[in-house]
C-alpha cells in the first residue's frame, strides 16, 4: 500500500501559486463581465422594448438550462469556425462571464422588482429626477436585497472556474492535473487542490460578511 507523501509537492509550490492567481484572475474577470451583463440586462428587462426583453429572457433561459461545460466548449471550439479565435483564458472568461451574467440578471431584476412602486412614485412627486430616484430610493434597498445572492453566486463562479481546465486554461485545477502526471500522487495533489479551493472560498465568505456588516450593518455570525 502506498504511503502518503506530500513532500514531493513542495517543488511545485510556484506552479500552485501561479495556478491560484490565475483562478482568482479568471474569477474576477468573469464576474466583472457577468455583472455588467446582469445590470444592463436587468435594466433592459424592466424598461426596454418588447423584442429586447424577449431576447434577454431567451438568453437567461438558455444559459441557465444548459451545462456550463458545453457553453465553454461552444465558445472555445465552435466560435473559431466563424472566425472568432481566442486563447483558452479569454474563452473561459467569456463563457463564465456569460454564465454568471444570466444568473446576475435574475438576481438584479429580483432586487429591483422588490422595490415598491409607491416609493418610486413618491420620489417623482417630490421632483426628483430619474437618476436621483434610482440613486437615493431604488439603489440602496436593491443592493441590500441582492447582496447575499450575488456573493453566493460569486462563490459558485469561483468553484466553476475548474471547468476551464477542460480547454487547458492554466488555472488551479489544470495545474493540479499537471502535477499529478509528474508525481503520480493523485490523492496528495487533489487533497492540496481541494484545500486551496476551500481556503479561497472561506476567505471570500469572510470578506463578503465583513463588507455586508460594514455596508448594511448586518450582524456578524460567530
Tens-place pLDDT, residues 44-73: 888 788 999 999 999 999 999 999 999 999
In a domain, 2, yes or no: no
Please report whether residue 204 resides in a domain. Answer: yes
Q: What is the pTM of this model?
A: 0.89
More confident residue, 138 or 183: 183
Domain that holds residue 35: 7-215
What's the rounded mean pLDDT across residues 110-127?
80
How many domains does the structure of the chain reveal? 1
Q: What is the CA radius of gyration of the chain?
A: 21
What's 122's domain CATH number?
1.10.3720.10
186-216 vs 172-183: helix crossing angle, rounded to 10? 160
Query: Which residue bears the cell 454564465?
Result: 99
pLDDT at 219: 56
Give the pLDDT confidence score for residue 26 in this predicted structure: 97
Q: What is the dihedral of CA 100, 106, 109, 111, to 10 degrees?
A: -90
**Residue pair 31/157 in contact by the 8 Å Cβ criterion:** yes
Residue 140 has pLDDT above 80, yes or no: no
Give the confidence band of 1 by pLDDT, cuts at 50, 70, 90: low
The Cα–Cα gap between 146 and 114 comes to: 10
Amino acid at each position: 500500500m502506498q504511503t502518503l507523501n506530500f513532500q514531493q509537492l513542495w517543488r511545485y509550490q510556484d506552479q500552485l501559486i501561479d495556478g491560484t492567481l490565475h483562478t482568482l484572475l479568471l474569477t474576477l474577470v468573469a464576474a466583472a463581465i457577468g455583472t455588467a451583463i446582469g445590470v444592463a440586462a436587468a435594466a433592459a428587462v424592466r424598461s426596454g422594448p418588447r423584442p429586447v426583453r424577449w431576447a434577454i429572457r431567451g438568453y437567461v433561459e438558455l444559459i441557465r438550462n444548459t451545462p456550463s461545460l458545453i457553453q465553454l466548449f461552444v465558445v472555445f471550439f465552435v466560435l473559431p469556425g466563424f472566425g472568432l479565435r481566442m486563447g483558452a483564458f479569454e474563452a473561459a472568461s467569456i463563457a463564465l462571464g456569460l454564465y454568471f451574467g444570466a444568473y446576475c440578471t435574475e438576481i438584479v431584476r429580483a432586487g429591483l422588482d422588490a422595490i415598491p412602486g409607491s416609493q418610486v412614485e413618491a420620489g417623482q412627486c417630490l421632483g426628483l429626477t430619474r437618476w436621483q430616484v434610482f440613486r437615493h430610493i431604488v439603489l440602496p434597498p436593491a443592493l441590500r436585497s441582492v447582496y447575499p445572492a450575488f456573493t453566493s453566486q460569486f462563490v459558485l463562479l469561483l468553484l466553476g472556474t475548474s471547468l476551464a481546465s477542460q480547454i487547458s486554461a492554466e488555472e488551479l485545477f489544470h495545474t493540479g492535473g499537471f502535477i499529478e502526471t509528474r508525481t503520480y500522487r493523485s490523492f496528495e495533489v487533489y487533497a492540496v487542490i481541494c484545500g486551496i479551493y476551500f481556503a479561497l472560498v472561506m476567505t471570500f465568505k469572510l470578506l463578503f460578511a465583513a463588507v455586508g456588516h460594514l455596508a448594511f450593518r448586518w450582524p456578524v455570525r460567530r
